[in-house]
Structure 1
Amino acid sequence: MTSPINPADRCLRGKAARKRARRSAHSAWIASVDRPDPVSVLERQGRDRLPELLPIRYGRMAASPFAFLRGGAAVMAADLAAAPHTGLTAQLCGDAHLLNFGVYASPERHLLFDLNDFDETFPGPFEWDVKRLATSVAVAARENGHPEAKAAHAAREAVAGYRLAMRRLARLGELDVWYTRIDAEQLLPLIRSTRRHRRVEASLGRARRRTSLRAFGKLTETVDGRRRIVHDPPLLERAGTSDMASLRKIFSDYRSTLSEERRLLLDRYRFVDAARKVVGVGSVGLRCFIVLLAGRDAGDPLFLQIKEARQSVLEEHLPSGPYVHPGHRVVAGQRLLQAAGDIFLGWMSGPQGRAFYWRQLRDMKGTADVAGMGPDELSAYARLCGTALARAHARSGDRIAIAGYLGGADTFDRAVADFAMAYADQTAADHTALRAAVEAGVVRAAPEI
């Protein structure tokens, strides 16, 4: 992505984008008469997924409007694409809702706060991610029982966090932007209540303990003197003979996508066992496995996750991206967006030409308990998420142009917050439509698992 050299020209380019999409115009959300039926969008996504797992997906999405929003990235992508956009492109997360932010360990073993899901990453208009984040804040606030004014304020805080961070980043040099990161400890000053402060500290402590060694104790058992992944269907099923053979083969192919020093590290582990695992909400039905490796000895485990990669929900609405292989798209997007990446990120093709990507299963990862947040806490957390999103976008997009578009006033903040509240209504209606489809037998939903 090339930009004019002169920062003043780049800023003017951003201000010129206001002619294509006025900042105040972002407030509008009116569903078009030909808007796709949300349940049909989900059913189309379900084609070629594992059919026996789809009821779990629908059951999880039917649990609440926020759960529907989590699984309905394709629904919202189509709605965002129907409106005018700025044309100011960045590498998008593609699914920037509140629960796709969290803490994880850098290679230096520091806990960082950042985006943590990249299945839908793709280059697109920066505001699409901002609108999805703000909407998730509004939906979460309503589910937490916050008054409408507080919900709107929290959504506005997410956008303000993004705008102010982007304007600050626009003044920095290239390496300063690239090396910017958010330490997890920055969560603590946001919490005024002593009780909540201790709860966040405890949450960070749990994240530090979420390692392969901890997973080893929970996800494995000893059978005939050998360590094996537990069989706990339908969420965790040990791989059959044919799947095991395929996984061993693609493990070798995956190795080739790592840098030389990381291949050397990986070669010090041996393949022990594998299992199919159900993860997330929107991802349910995609082929996903975990692989247990052993290093120095049986007490030195490493869990890797292999997840099927499909076309991003954004791709049908935007020009072609730089990567043909969906797994490569996910890995490259994650490396670009995150301040520090997983050293075992890689990709390859599996049976029937399906695309997959690899990463560590647990690397001190943790997510905030959004459902337990009061109005002030949610607003502060939303602002932090907006700040993290701006940092991610600034690495790929023209941060100076985006900052020029956003401006110093809160016009954009208020407009996107208004959109978020209106789209929260749409999400509630779409959730109701899914529940009606379940009750009518159009789709089958398993009780929440």
Structure 2
Amino acid sequence: MRRARIGAAAASMVVAACAQPTSEHARDQWLWHTLVLDNQVFLEREPELAGGKLAKMSDGPYRFFRGTAAQYARDVMEPGSPGYWPTAFGSEQTRDVALVGDPHPENIGTFRRADGTMVVDFNDFDGATFGPYDFDLRRLALGFWVAAEQIDRDHAALVAMGEPVEQPLREGDREALARAVVTGYVDEIARAASEPGPGLVLSDAEAAGVVLGTLLEGAIEDGDAQEKLEDYTRVEDGVRRMIYGDVEAPRTLELGREPQVIYEDTMRRLGARERTLVTELLARYADSRDGIDPQALRLKGSARRLGAGVSSYPVARYYLLVEGDSEAVEDDVLLELKQVLDPVPMPGLLRYPSRPFSTNAERVVGMQRALQAFDDDDPWLGWAVVGDDGYRVRWRSGYQRGVQVPDLSRDLADDDLVPDDLVVFAELAGRLLARSHGRAPKGDGTPAAPAIAAAIGDDGQGLVEEVMAFVDAYAPRVLADHAAFVELLEAHGPRLGYRRR
């Protein structure tokens, strides 16, 4: 049975490979066209921020990977594309699984629940939708492979500058990380099918492995110190106020003889129109929450934050300082209101928002609550809609801390991590994804874990090999696309030659 499945998958890989463009030039043109198309809303609305996003993607293959989820979706969903071949481990019952949408190492982080318990979970659901489970699984495995490639390049840069790297990645570590993701997923989805419920909950630093355990410890320290409030606000004369300006200075890249500013962390004052908008959004946010005290939402300050994210770098992101439980400055709360747009289109599948979600904001929040281990991972999570624009609202706290690939690079170089720690992290990430898929209802409302487990059957190793074959074949395509993308920026500038209409 396993041999037949792998043989069918291999045959479809050959067909996909034969259907690739006949030249790299054709692929480059496709990449140029789709990147402009996907970012046109930003290129029209705020071209400087659109250019900043594209320039940020040039930093390395991992940031490019983060900014090209739509290219990944086309490649794996459209017949004839380089990442396309049907899985031998799917069924009609596994085509409407609740998906994270863009799972990768940096979309995993910590949360502090309403009861004070710390947990690790996925933390970005902008792309959450319904679709085949292998879309997420392959994306996560590929993400770990690309992260390892990025770490290797970071270390090479350190060595070139004469800096020591105590724990370099070994030959085969890229593949080991990707394999660990799928192995963890296969084992955990079988458990989820037989043991419904939260299942795997990473709340103890010792049980979470070195990478996630260190993340939990740092989040507790940052949260207890009110790190986010310290970063973005100041207490003056007993009153807490927003700060404005550069929290971290921007940088400038020269691309195609054109300078492009890339914000790292800047707080910008709001004009009258934006102040009116955030006031209305805050009022409507209360409607998405039960039992919230209106006094806790008394607005004390607001700003637009620039520089966060990669795919979401140009979207509107507002920080609001609100009263909290009392008038004491110690329990002031910082909220983030982030505009959410359509999820990445998945050719051949329904496009959301549609039923059961009336807006993108409701989609993101509803899917987050369904996919996370607990619906109060973020006790301030909610949404607000004004006109056609939807915003997800979340708590900005030091208790919420995400994995950062540059931190992994540095910790390996400094001997604070060893490569096997990353393998443990990758396996746990695969298990987290399995639990997310397994616990959230499918599009038809039925449980997903039994359907996925039935599709895999007793050939979990076959699924591991199928995903590894995908990663081995497609990961070099990501690296080649990144190199071509950098050349496109050099030739056409940070906005890829786009001119506003």
| Match in the other structure for 1:214 | 227
Match of 1:390 among 429, 434, 452: 434
| Match in the other structure for 2:288 | 257
| Match in the other structure for 1:5 | none
RMSD between aligned residues: 2.8
**2 CA distance for matches of 1:131 and 1:437?**
27
**1:14-413 alignment, distance < 5 Å:** 30=17, 32-33=20-21, 37-49=30-42, 50-82=46-78, 83=84, 84=86, 86=90, 87=92, 88=94, 89-145=96-152, 146-172=169-195, 177-185=196-204, 188-189=206-207, 191=209, 197=210, 202-211=214-223, 213-221=226-234, 226-232=239-245, 234=263, 235-259=266-290, 261=291, 263-264=292-293, 266-278=294-306, 279-295=308-324, 296-297=326-327, 298-314=329-345, 317-321=348-352, 322=355, 323-340=357-374, 341=376, 342-350=378-386, 353-362=388-397, 364-368=399-403, 369-371=407-409, 372=411, 374-395=418-439, 396-397=441-442, 398-409=448-459, 410-413=461-464
Quick check: 2:77–2:348 contact (8 Å CA) kept in 1? yes
Quick check: 1:120–1:314 contact (8 Å CA) kept in 2? no
Between 1:51-60 and 1:201-210, the stretch displaced more is 201-210
* Shift of residue 429, structure 1, vs aligned partner: 1.1
**2 CA distance for matches of 1:424 and 1:404?**
29
| AA in 2 matched with 1:140 | A
Quick check: 2:200–2:431 contact (8 Å CA) kept in 1? no
| Match in the other structure for 2:81 | none
Quick check: 1:101–1:116 contact (8 Å CA) kept in 2? yes
Unaligned regions of 5+ residues in structure 1, if any? 1-14, 192-196
Unaligned regions of 5+ residues in structure 2, if any? 79-83, 153-168, 247-262, 413-417, 443-447, 497-501
**2 CA distance for matches of 1:289 and 1:153?**
39
**2 CA distance for matches of 1:362 and 1:26?**
47
CA deviation vs aligned residue, 1:171-228 (integer Å, no higher than 9, x gap): 12xxxx233241232x53565xxxxx5x865532221134493222221135788533
How many pairs align? 414
**1 CA distance for matches of 2:380 and 2:151?**
37
Task: Specify the SS of the correspondent of 1:313.
Answer: coil
* Shift of residue 37, structure 1, vs aligned partner: 2.1
TM-score, with normalisation over the residues of structure 2?
Answer: 0.76
Quick check: 2:198–2:435 contact (8 Å CA) kept in 1? no
Runs (4 or more) in structure 1 with deviation over 4 Å come to 18-29, 199-202, 222-226
Quick check: 1:112–1:184 contact (8 Å CA) kept in 2? yes
**2 CA distance for matches of 1:248 and 1:300?**
21
| Match in the other structure for 1:416 | 467
Structure 2 CA distance for partners of 1:320 and 1:201, relative to 1, 3 Å: closer
Between 1:20-29 and 1:319-328, the stretch displaced more is 20-29
| AA in 2 matched with 1:407 | G
Quick check: 1:349–1:355 contact (8 Å CA) kept in 2? yes
More contact order relative to length (CA 8 Å, sep ≥ 6): 1
Task: Specify the SS of the correspondent of 2:302.
Answer: strand
Quick check: 2:192–2:449 contact (8 Å CA) kept in 1? yes
TM-score, with normalisation over the residues of structure 1?
Answer: 0.84
**1 CA distance for matches of 2:471 and 2:480?**
14
Percent of aligned positions that are identical: 26
